[in-house]
Chains A and B, each alone.
Chain A
């Protein structure tokens, strides 16, 4: 990743919070390089039957919108007002108290008032007032209403692709107004006239066809997994087998494809494989449902459902009893809050019961899908794993709560328990930056692309600064997380703001600490870094 074209950290941090002189309605959007993402390529829109595929870029004057684009958007708004109580209510009840304003990492990182969640919502709320409320129709701007023009549409594009749907604002709002929900609807509307970003539609198109967002075909998946199994053998002397598309297994395991494709996710993936091998788990992975992540979440509710459908379909075809899901943030938002509703009921599966401990996962009784960290925490609690935490003594770890498991599940203690059982140097970041108040990596929801690099570094700044603090105080050198997007984006973020801190998944710690039957003495961790004896010197 090159930071050549963006300001140095000590320049970037000089952020002003004084709003501009002109009212926000009169301040046009500026598509400054480094702060937006490239448009979705026509071939990807076509692959997904999305409207208005064409060659264009957001910096163009002419966006090549269909002639009736206004009618399409307004019709789409009407439809969504009728389909989502959340959207309708959130359009109506905001009192503009500003409690959410300085809670958004993009506002903290840019000082741009339109990144205050309340103003991000007003971008669309003003249009709602103009076309759907009596006061707005009659009093216009005085009532906070404005016409839907091309400039307004461009503003939507810029700011709805500058929101990572992280829900931090919603924690602080007295009515729970969730900008993520508004952004999701805003992006759906933009999609109706063909305004999407390629970092979202290309992964979505790939998932649709090949099952995973990188577009890896079945042969490639098998190769990569074999390659990682070789690495495991190299580090531990134990050969693990990874069943693919095997019918009749008890458990289907689905994880984000980045876990088996790119560092540092691969080390997390090695951790899963070693664990499953050691347990003798009767499981399989699938090349058809080879992606846990769901780029539909960043496109539209319909696209979530289209992509998510594969998991249950494959579970049914393979005849498994239940499903385990890997470490991933937005994947778990979808599995926890949408999957069963959209593609269930999963009545062809059975109540998830750990074959090792006998624990019944009552909390996943209906969806039949268990988080791998829940699964592992239960194993450790029941003393089923032999762990040697001293093998992680060269690591001084802090934990980043990923937005979705934090604010859409409440997944706080499970990962902390596993971390504390597998390593001996764990330090929490400042209270205002973890758990339900966690700060986003700044690049979720499809924004983790190279062209958007300045905005990513700005949005990730609050998270990075909290890491910097524990780095200075406790000499922390590892940032653990349970999200595949984080593993990619936080790595870049750390390079820029806090060099010397590397990023890892929680199951990498497990893999390091797990004592396997028949293993050689471990001289290195899964990354090949030597393990010093007797902890830190």
Chain B
């Protein structure tokens, strides 16, 4: 069911801009929707992170995946069980840049009446490719928003297109993004237990990304777009003087609409893992709770059973067996 709902969503996300473009609603498609989406994204993202950041971390609960720092002659594992700030920084870097925990992934099967644990790096590999190519593509897009073009965008584009296949050259990141998103989607549909846990909101972002990448490739290689017009449109947004140049195609509007949809989608759901991963208390705290006291801002007194109450109840017995008592 969720998959059909998601497909319906995507069909609308493609048909609506096609229809609106042919009806001549270019102002809506080119200016109103993208700018509104951007505002929702920025405001929503900040708001979500602020809500998280303001909620307290009452206890120091890192999950430790390596040897603790204890006796001086036992080698501690700084990256998997950090005991200080640098260790935490290293651990977070490995998580965010290399998806360390996902790399650990195993696959459990029953084989001859016992469980076996095979290595599986698919999710890690395609997950990482997906994110890395997404990032590369984002940075490359900066050339549409900067004049003169920021050097980083050009350098990256040069590396990305180094194989010089076709004219204009095909970017590796585009291929990777398509392949990785397709893999992640197929995996969701094909593996029974992953399908079982998937909601519409798990398919939709992947489908949107596929649409964005697909329409992007179309504009670059087949239904070629006038880049000058796009730059004019973009500089209009940035300088707050909206302009609607000639030469924007229907495919471009589909691309832009799907990007807008993804931007709006972002702060509403799980894509916020981008911000959340940095705040995860099981990862970003040092395992030093015996060395340094962690303070809970809402720590409140509780009802306890005191020694006096205990002795009161058991005094005679304690005296009978020769245990010392505070009050005779």
A461→B290 contact, CB < 8 A: no
Given A118-B197, A432-B117, A219 contacting B317 (CB threshold 8 A): yes
B289→A144 contact, CB < 8 A: no
Segment of A97-105, A255-263, A266-274, A388-396 engaged in the interface with chain B: A97-105
B residues less than 8 Å from A5 (CB atoms): none
Given A81-B55, A108-B108, A144-B201, A176 contacting B283 (CB threshold 8 A): yes
Interface residues of B in 238-284 (CB under 8 A from A): 268-270, 272-273, 276-277, 279-283
Given A174-B101, A219-B320, A341-B289, A99 contacting B61 (CB threshold 8 A): no
Interface residues of B in 56-80 (CB under 8 A from A): 56-61, 63-71, 73-77, 80
The smallest beta-carbon distance between A14 and chain B, in angstroms, is 8
A89→B193 contact, CB < 8 A: no
Interface bits B124-145 vs A (CB < 8 Å: 1, else 0): 0001000000000000000000
Q: Cβ of B222 < 8 Å from any Cβ of A?
A: no
Interface centre among B68, B77, B201, B287 (most CB of A within 10 A): B68
Q: How many angstroms between the C-alpha atoms of A348 and B74 in the bound complex?
A: 29
Segment of A193-201, A408-416, A443-451, A499-507 engaged in the interface with chain B: A408-416
A residues less than 8 Å from B95 (CB atoms): 174, 176
Q: How many angstroms between the C-alpha atoms of A302 and B276 in the bound complex?
A: 27
B290's partner among A94, A108, A209, A367 (CB-CB below 8 A) is A367
The smallest beta-carbon distance between A489 and chain B, in angstroms, is 19
Closest B residue to A207 by beta carbon equals: B305
A residues less than 8 Å from B23 (CB atoms): none
A93→B270 contact, CB < 8 A: yes
A222→B193 contact, CB < 8 A: no
Closest B residue to A436 by beta carbon equals: B65
B residues less than 8 Å from A89 (CB atoms): 52, 276, 279-281
B63's partner among A18, A103, A310, A407 (CB-CB below 8 A) is A407
Q: Cβ of A309 < 8 Å from any Cβ of B?
A: yes
Segment of A60-68, A242-250, A275-283, A511-519 engaged in the interface with chain B: A242-250
Which bracket fits the contact residues of A?
Answer: 35 or more
Closest B residue to A367 by beta carbon equals: B290
A residues less than 8 Å from B89 (CB atoms): none
B277→A175 contact, CB < 8 A: yes
Q: Cβ of B110 < 8 Å from any Cβ of A?
A: yes
A residues less than 8 Å from B193 (CB atoms): 17, 19, 98, 101-102, 113, 116
A96→B60 contact, CB < 8 A: no
B276→A86 contact, CB < 8 A: no
Given A85-B57, A174-B277, A462-B115, A245 contacting B127 (CB threshold 8 A): no
A19→B196 contact, CB < 8 A: yes
The smallest beta-carbon distance between B210 and chain A, in angstroms, is 17
Q: Cβ of A55 < 8 Å from any Cβ of B?
A: no
The smallest beta-carbon distance between A257 and chain B, in angstroms, is 15
A residues less than 8 Å from B270 (CB atoms): 92-96
The smallest beta-carbon distance between B180 and chain A, in angstroms, is 13
B293→A108 contact, CB < 8 A: no
Q: How many angstroms between the C-alpha atoms of A298 and B179 in the bound complex?
A: 45
Segment of B30-38, B146-154, B155-163, B306-314 engaged in the interface with chain A: B306-314
Which bracket fits the contact residues of B?
Answer: 35 or more
Q: Cβ of B15 < 8 Å from any Cβ of A?
A: no
Q: Cβ of A330 < 8 Å from any Cβ of B?
A: no
Segment of A37-45, A229-237, A358-366, A523-531 engaged in the interface with chain B: A358-366
Interface residues of B in 293-328 (CB under 8 A from A): 293-296, 298-299, 302-307, 310-311, 313-314, 317-318, 320-324, 326
Q: How many angstroms between the C-alpha atoms of A330 and B102 in the bound complex?
A: 27
Interface residues of A in 301-315 (CB under 8 A from B): 301-302, 305-306, 309-310, 313-314
Q: Cβ of B165 < 8 Å from any Cβ of A?
A: no
Q: Cβ of A535 < 8 Å from any Cβ of B?
A: no
Q: Cβ of B113 < 8 Å from any Cβ of A?
A: yes
Q: Cβ of B99 < 8 Å from any Cβ of A?
A: yes
A residues less than 8 Å from B74 (CB atoms): 377, 413-414, 417
A residues less than 8 Å from B198 (CB atoms): 96
B289's partner among A167, A367, A374 (CB-CB below 8 A) is A367
Given A92-B276, A95-B273, A172 contacting B104 (CB threshold 8 A): yes
B residues less than 8 Å from A181 (CB atoms): 61, 282
Segment of A28-36, A154-162, A332-340, A478-486 engaged in the interface with chain B: A332-340
Interface residues of B in 178-198 (CB under 8 A from A): 191-194, 196-198
Interface bits A291-333 vs B (CB < 8 Å: 1, else 0): 0000000000110011001100110010000000000000000
A211→B310 contact, CB < 8 A: yes
Q: Cβ of B123 < 8 Å from any Cβ of A?
A: yes
B310→A337 contact, CB < 8 A: no
Q: How many angstroms between the C-alpha atoms of A411 and B66 in the bound complex?
A: 8
Closest B residue to A167 by beta carbon equals: B63
B residues less than 8 Å from A1 (CB atoms): none
Given A94-B270, A170-B63, A175-B273, A99 contacting B102 (CB threshold 8 A): yes
Closest B residue to A378 by beta carbon equals: B71
The smallest beta-carbon distance between A121 and chain B, in angstroms, is 10
Given A101-B197, A245-B323, A363-B70, A13 contacting B310 (CB threshold 8 A): no
The smallest beta-carbon distance between B224 and chain A, in angstroms, is 35
Q: How many angstroms between the C-alpha atoms of A283 and B227 in the bound complex?
A: 81
B317→A342 contact, CB < 8 A: no
A residues less than 8 Å from B323 (CB atoms): 218, 222, 244-245, 287
11 example contacts (A-B, Cβ-Cβ < 8 A) are as follows A15-B110, A85-B279, A89-B276, A94-B273, A219-B317, A306-B303, A309-B302, A341-B299, A364-B290, A406-B64, A413-B67
**Which 6 A/B pairs are nearest by Cβ-Cβ distance?**
A410-B68, A410-B64, A93-B276, A176-B282, A432-B117, A410-B81
Give me 18 other A-B pairs in contact (C-beta within 8 A), A176-B282, A335-B290 excluded: A24-B197, A93-B280, A97-B123, A101-B197, A142-B5, A171-B101, A176-B283, A181-B61, A287-B323, A310-B304, A336-B290, A341-B294, A361-B70, A363-B70, A409-B64, A412-B66, A412-B67, A461-B115
